[in-house]
Amino acid sequence: MNTKNNKVIVYSTPTCPYCVYAKEYFKENDVSFEDIDVTQDRAKAQEMVKKSGQMGVPVIDINGNIIVGFQPEAFAQLLK
């Protein structure tokens, strides 16, 4: 997996187990990511909804591709 040159943003909340799973996946695969806690940043929460059309977390932005939920197969595909 080519983990370099990927821009990954994880929109999450502290109480979301699938957010934790997603962040663990990126850490285990040596993928750097920006973690945004949408409970602390209303503007970023609005950005997340605008990108995904979803209120639920996690929302993951990999190089401009939006994935809602913990979907490791989709992550791997987009990180190739």
Amino acid at 78: L
Banded pLDDT at 62 (limits 50, 70, 90): very high
Q: What mean pLDDT comes out for the span 38-46?
A: 97
Whole-number Å distance between alpha carbons of 39 and 36: 9
Residue that the structure tokens 């750097």 belong to = 32
CATH, residue 36: 3.40.30.10
pLDDT at res. 4:
67
Q: What mean pLDDT comes out for the span 24-48?
A: 96
Tell me, yes or no, whether 65 lies in a domain.
Answer: yes
Tell me, yes or no, whether 77 lies in a domain.
Answer: no
pLDDT at res. 3:
57
**Number of folded domains in the chain?**
1
What are the pLDDT digits (tens) for 4-31?
689 999 999 999 999 999 999 999 999 9
Tell me, yes or no, whether 35 lies in a domain.
Answer: yes
pLDDT at res. 80:
84
3-state secondary structure 35-61: EEECCCCHHHHHHHHHHHCCCCCCEEE
Quote the mean pLDDT of the chain.
94
Please give the residue range of the domain that contains residue 33: 8-70
